[in-house]
Amino acid sequence: MGLATLWASFDPYLRPSVIGLMIFVVFNALIIASAILVLAERKIMGFMQQRYGPYLVGPHGMLQPIADILKLLFKEELRPKGADRWLFTLAPVISVVAAFAAFATVPFGAETTFFGLLDEPIKLGVSDVNVGVLVVFAVTSMGVYGIVLAGWSSNSKYSLMGGLRASAQMISYELAYATALASVVMLAGSLSLREVVDAQSGYWLGFIPRWYLFLQPLGFIIYVIAGVAETNRAPFDFPEAEQELVAGYNTEYSSVRFALFPQAEYINMVTMSAVATDLYLGGWHGPFLPPAYGWIWFLLKVGLILFAYIWVRWTVPRYRYDQLMQFGWKWLFPAAVLNLIATAALILYFNA
């Protein structure tokens, strides 16, 4: 059998193989990204506070995430005597599965044939869903169940209070978060993340990108604040708040089960940054690069938002719990509603 004949026999399986490879790469990239973010956070924190950060393991401390992973793998798995056996194990799994599933509908590049390998172009993204905005919103909201179940199943007062704080926190920001997304959906006229990105292609006046950031500055600020609360990051990290609240929902966890919670948190950071890039920053659209290499712009924008995540954590002090509730209901949600009404009015005015 000649090489051409062999290649022709493999051709029907080429496209499914490329899709499977892309899913494999995205899955592993999210795992690696969580490890890199741990290192980046500690390095940036050290720089901002004028200290070293990790520097002993590997050159300049670059292998510290591997040391942390090995340490957690070899630690003993502990479970309180009165804990619910199955829910105690299931809770971190729910959190990390929801984190991975949320990214599945996020597109990160234009169509490509992979340098002519495929006859028909394929869209860069695990799954192209025409209601991607709703899927991301729904799946990320499911992650709170893992935190609440972790607090309840641990049979510990500290853990239970952390889980309750997580549920109350979700109620405080979720409405503002959804209302901010609704404004972008109205502008794009679609719930598909890919169509939202494509609606932001081109330029105004020949040099201003048609990003929704310029049309929705208030909506972007609301989304970013709600995204910080969504990922339980400081200054809204009340479910954990380890400095004064005995670590909250994950107090009784150890080893791998403990590691799954921060991994879910960092993957959620990547997902929220990727969705913000698609909704407000034009996704993979940018100057100087052809559409086939637009994923480079996508990664740069996501990296910038992730840096802002880390920057905020180490510069803004934690709010009191009542301040978060008041801020979410009395300021964030009304601002999101006013932004939605103004957006709808402008759309009706200009379309008329």
| Residue 1 reports pLDDT greater than 70 | no
**Residue 209, φ and ψ in degrees, nearest 5:** -60, 145
Contact 197, 280 (CB under 8 A): no
Going by C-alpha positions, the residue among 115, 125, 107, 93 that lies closest to residue 22 is: 125
Using one digit for the tens of pLDDT, what is the confidence trace for 103-141? 988 999 888 877 667 777 788 888 888 888 888 888 888
Give whole-number Cα distances, 254 to 154, 186, 237, 259, in Å. Answer: 12, 45, 20, 8
Q: How many CB atoms lie within 10 A of CB 341?
A: 12
| Residue 147 reports pLDDT greater than 90 | no
**pTM of the shown model:** 0.90
For every residue of 112-158, DSSP letters joined together read E-TTTTSSS-EESSS---TTHHHHHHHHHHHHHHHHHHHHHHTT-HH
* Residue 216: pLDDT band with limits 50, 70, 90: very high
Longest dimension (CA), the chain: 73
Number of domains in the chain: 1
d(CA 277, CA 62): 28
What is the length of the chain? 352
Average predicted confidence (pLDDT) for the chain: 85
* Residue 160: pLDDT band with limits 50, 70, 90: confident
Using one digit for the tens of pLDDT, what is the confidence trace for 222-245? 999 888 888 878 777 776 665 555
User: Can you give the residue range of the structural domain that contains 115?
Assistant: 2-351
What are the tokens at 223?
Answer: 């989304």
Residues pairing with 122 in the sheet? 112
Angle made by CA atoms 344, 350, 352, in degrees to the nearest 5:
100
Contact 133, 181 (CB under 8 A): yes
Please compute, for residue 11, the number of CA atoms within 13 A of its CA located in the half-sphere on the CB side.
Answer: 10
Exposure of 119 by Cβ count < 10 A (0-12 exposed, 13-18 middle, 19+ buried)?
Answer: exposed
